[in-house]
Structure 1
Amino acid sequence: MQGAAGFFSGPVELLEFVLPLAAAQVLGATPAQTGALLAVQFLVSLLTRPVAGVHVDRAGSERGTLLLAAAGAGCGALSFVLYTAATTLPPAFAAAGLGGLGGAYFWVAIRAHIASRIGSGDDRFAALMESESSGAWIAFLTGIPLFQIAGASAMFLTCAASCLVAGVLLAFTALTGTDRLTGTARLTGTDRLVARPFTQVEARSLLRSLRGILALTGVVAFAEGIVSLLLILHLIERLGFDLGAIALVYLPGAIVLSIAPRPLHRLVRRVPPHRILLLGLGCSAVFAAALVTRPGPVSLAVLWILSALCFSLLVPLLERLVAEVSGEHAGRGFGWYQSADLLGSAAGALAAGLLFGAGLWEVATIGAGLLLVVSGILGRRSLRSFAAVAETSELTLATPHSAGGPPPDRTPSEHHEHGKGLTSAMKRTATTLAVHVGIYLLAQVVFAFLGASWPWEVITGNTTPATILTWNSEGTQVQRWIGSVSRIWTIVVLVDILWSGYRMIVPKDKSDRTEE
């Protein structure tokens, strides 16, 4: 399921980044028309998420929930196909609407499915965040060069294929009960997603229970929306960066988001949620305040890494709390949660644009930082009642099981493997590493044909391994950009190999041996 999330999130993140440029080049759209395209996708997604939550809850089973997520991925694929064929604005608006619809059903269903299995391991939302982020930065590394070299149509078709793969993986898991990438059993047959009548009184009660988390989510998203757009505007207006250079500034933070959530979660799993909230929002406020100095690109990349670490703490925490409070109505809970997040982000982006246009840079950055600090202080009180959530998984795993068989989420074969050979967790780690290395090698073959693959240059003697830490400065603009990406990606793969080897060699605790 995490693999499907990566295949779907990459194209979605890439679309938000390149759609303004693609609309101008292909459709001849004005800035106002481009803004309308983005607004349509946002509004459809915002209005559909609560409805998607209702349908997910009514599905009443893991299989039904995964099929809804697969349908959302199919809508996303169709959206990109329409973007490919669009030569006028009406088909593009239809594509935007389909994209919003597909994203709503995909993400609400995926999170509700994770919530239904949260009792067997408490780092599932962190793992989901890693998969989303991995898909995003891989999509940026491959999609932007493809856009610059082959054009928007080729990029859109590739994105459609990626969304289709996500849908196929989910449908395969739903229909066979087996993860297509790892071959492990995923559907246990004991669903917590049991469909039953949900009255208006119960809906209002659930909303009241969630309102503290929803308000906090909206305010944090508002502040982060301000900071994110100010960062992009600073890179474009003040530093004159193009699309590729902006992506490289964001790349280190995106890589951190793809590897940090689960290690950070294990580090703070016994810390009460309100303290994690204060830590995460405090660091994020430092990042916002640091933008007052209008830092250079290297400093921005470092600051963005700090922000990524904050997100790695905060997002899985909030999603975990929504799952705990919503219980068997996680579809509705996540529908409201994601709507609050979208609304806050949109309002923050609008505020940032207005403040930047008025020349109030300092007011925007300091105001965002103060808002994050105030959110942490006020939210601390509302999260105190969830102090036990951080230890829920530990208590669940420590509870003695009956003598009649293995624990619910450990199959007999996995229990047998614990004493010898490779455990299922080790096999999944090896499979994930193989997928990452395979994608890397395929990309390097493409880069080599373009004359910009750093490993190939080392193999052929055109450069030395010591140049891995230098910035590519030879060739055309596209070759320079791709060469720099090739170096960064090589470092990431080397770190991935070391980290995966560590996870396979060093013994895990009990929670790490559970099915993911």
Structure 2
Amino acid sequence: MNEVAHKKRAEENQLAAALTKGPAEVLDFLLPLWVGSQLGASAAEVGALTALETLVSFVVRPIAGALADRFDRGRIAAVGAVLYGLSFVVYAVTPGIGVAYLAAVLGGAGGALFWVALRARVGEGLAADDGAFSKLFAAEGGGTWIAFVVALTAIAWIDYRGVFWLGAAACAVAAVVLLNAKSAQVREEGAPRLLQLGKRMRPMLALVALTAMAEAGVALLLLMHLQRGHQLQLGEIAAVFIPGFIVYSLLPDYLHGFVRKVGRTRVLALAMVASAIFAAGLSFAPSPPVLAVMWVLSAAAFAAAIPVEQAVVAEAAGLSLGRAMGIYESATLLGATIGTFVAGQLYGSDTGWRVACFGAAGLLLFGSFVVRGAVRRVGVAEFPVEPRKTVSQKEKWAPRTIEDSPQAAESVTEEANRRANPLRNWAIHAGVYIVAQAALAVAGCSWPIEALFGEVHEAGWYWNSSGHWLLNLGRIWTFVLVIDTVWTFGRELLKKRPY
């Protein structure tokens, strides 16, 4: 597969991941609130709904891994996206908690098929791009914060069910992207089987489960403390989390360059120590702005660690990428389930809250000491090997076509770069925004003008509903432009230089 095909394939994977990850994270955030407040579900029913989706996903993930090693991974991931989308549809139309259990089953199965097959598909490209998983993680982070901004600004306008319909639409687009992607042959001959893989990667999988346990537990502790300890509303809670999600989308590719310099085990150990500091600091219950800054630092640590773990698992898998990613996803889910359960049980009292925070910190510190041995035992290199372009003798003496001409390729690349220049695109976005807002200001419906120069409004006017539909559209557009600005200039500042 040539460089252009590799790049196109990577872009398809990243787009599908962004379209699916964002709605899934929004669903996890909104579902307990929605079923409790609008469907009248008890705490036990909410827990049963979440547990059912987790159980189905856990059971299906090894099966998804076997399927991804036998059939086209893009098609398997597309089926998962369709099931994911159907779960959103069922949530959007369900009259009560009983039908919601069907949505949980569909979501659990769809998530297992989608993520196992997609990560295996990404693993195919490691030979061509050793930062493939960092780019995937960045795409997931970008999809998450965009989905949160859209959902939380639109929820007062279209209600929870409307947000679920938007999630279904995003999953449908992801399925179309993957179905239109070029198929790749899946080779199974000589591939290690599930039990062989599990035995070989046991130390790394234990580390993955530990990381997931700490990440999920700390995130839940932060969420509950913002809601119950600081009495924050939905939009205010999201404002604490969103900067961390933006870090997920900006830093992974840049941090991968750091991995190349200092090695995988050092980065994993440093990331776990940083996360342990955040977990311990959380126990002192600082103010929400301080928590937001701490969460950004913790997000940066996870943005460095998780792609490294995925790359190590993929390299250790050999030809069994599907099965390896199935085991990896199962370990992640198991760790996250234990982490959230324990955190929820311990949060109730001051003593339990501090035990949970310091317990997560202790686990992460322990992981930082054993990470070197875990990576060495799976037999992968300490430093990722950067792909190098090689030319075979056959290619060396083959007659060149117009497409093979370096000058032609350079011309095409330069033209593509001009079209894809992010600063140029941002300037166009900003120009259209300014012109549109000037016209709306004449009509008295410009949200930024009203927000800056109008009368003082309550917090809900800025976050939930601003009244007139043109003001609501202007509010969403303004938020999107602000995030587009942070995204564009942040990527330019952190753009990875060649090493």
Determine if the TM-score, normalized by the shorter chain, exceeds 0.5: yes
User: 1:368 corresponds to which residue?
Assistant: 360
CA contact (8 A) 1:210 1:322 kept: yes
Q: TM-score, normalised by structure 2?
A: 0.84
User: 2:4 corresponds to which residue?
Assistant: none
Deviation of the 1:325 alpha carbon: 0.5
Secondary structure of 1:288's aligned partner: helix
User: 1:469 corresponds to which residue?
Assistant: none
Long gaps (5+) in structure 1: 178-186, 465-471, 511-516
Deviation of the 1:234 alpha carbon: 0.9
Match of 2:463 among 455, 459, 481: 481
Cα distance in 2 for partners of 1:441, 1:367 equals 51
Cα distance in 1 for partners of 2:75, 2:83 equals 12
Deviation of the 1:231 alpha carbon: 0.7
Structure 1 stretch displaced more, 431-440 or 285-294: 431-440
Deviation of the 1:91 alpha carbon: 1.6
Cα RMSD of the aligned pairs, angstroms, is 3.5
Q: Which amino acid aligns with 2:282?
A: L
Matched, 1:341 2:332: yes
CA contact (8 A) 1:292 1:366 kept: yes
Cα distance in 1 for partners of 2:479, 2:196 equals 49
Deviation of the 1:368 alpha carbon: 1.1
CA contact (8 A) 2:200 2:378 kept: no
Cα distance in 1 for partners of 2:268, 2:17 equals 25
Q: Structure 1's 319 and 246: CA in aligned 2 closer, same or farther, altered over 3 A?
A: same
User: 1:74 corresponds to which residue?
Assistant: 82
Matched, 1:155 2:163: yes
Deviation of the 1:384 alpha carbon: 3.3
Cα distance in 1 for partners of 2:228, 2:316 equals 44
User: 2:15 corresponds to which residue?
Assistant: 3
User: 2:278 corresponds to which residue?
Assistant: 287
Match of 2:36 among 8, 24, 47: 24
Matched, 1:195 2:198: no
Cα distance in 2 for partners of 1:242, 1:437 equals 35
Cα distance in 2 for partners of 1:284, 1:216 equals 14
Q: Which amino acid aligns with 1:194?
A: R
Partner deviation per Cα, 1:367-415 (whole Å, 9 max, x = no partner): 2111101111012222235786354432x41655546169xxxx95695
Q: Which amino acid aligns with 1:25?
A: S
Cα distance in 1 for partners of 2:431, 2:59 equals 38
User: 2:267 corresponds to which residue?
Assistant: 276
Secondary structure of 2:70's aligned partner: helix
Q: Structure 1's 151 and 386: CA in aligned 2 closer, same or farther, altered over 3 A?
A: same
Structure 1 stretch displaced more, 268-277 or 132-141: 268-277
Matched, 1:393 2:385: yes
CA contact (8 A) 2:315 2:380 kept: no
Match of 1:50 among 42, 47, 62: 62
Q: How does 1:109-258 map to 2 (within 5 A)?
A: 109-173=117-181, 177=182, 191=185, 193-196=186-189, 202-258=193-249
Q: Which amino acid aligns with 2:187?
A: V
Deviation of the 1:340 alpha carbon: 0.7
Q: TM-score, normalised by structure 1?
A: 0.82
Q: Structure 1's 130 and 425: CA in aligned 2 closer, same or farther, altered over 3 A?
A: farther
Match of 1:357 among 337, 348, 352: 348
User: 2:472 corresponds to which residue?
Assistant: none
Partner deviation per Cα, 1:37-96 (whole Å, 9 max, x = no partner): 11111111111111100011011xxxx110111111111111111111100222211011
Q: Would you say how many aligned residue pairs link Structure 1 and Structure 2?
A: 470
Long gaps (5+) in structure 2: 1-11, 467-474
Cα distance in 2 for partners of 1:352, 1:345 equals 10
Matched, 1:463 2:452: yes
Cα distance in 2 for partners of 1:303, 1:318 equals 23
Cα distance in 2 for partners of 1:7, 1:436 equals 25
Cα distance in 2 for partners of 1:123, 1:440 equals 34
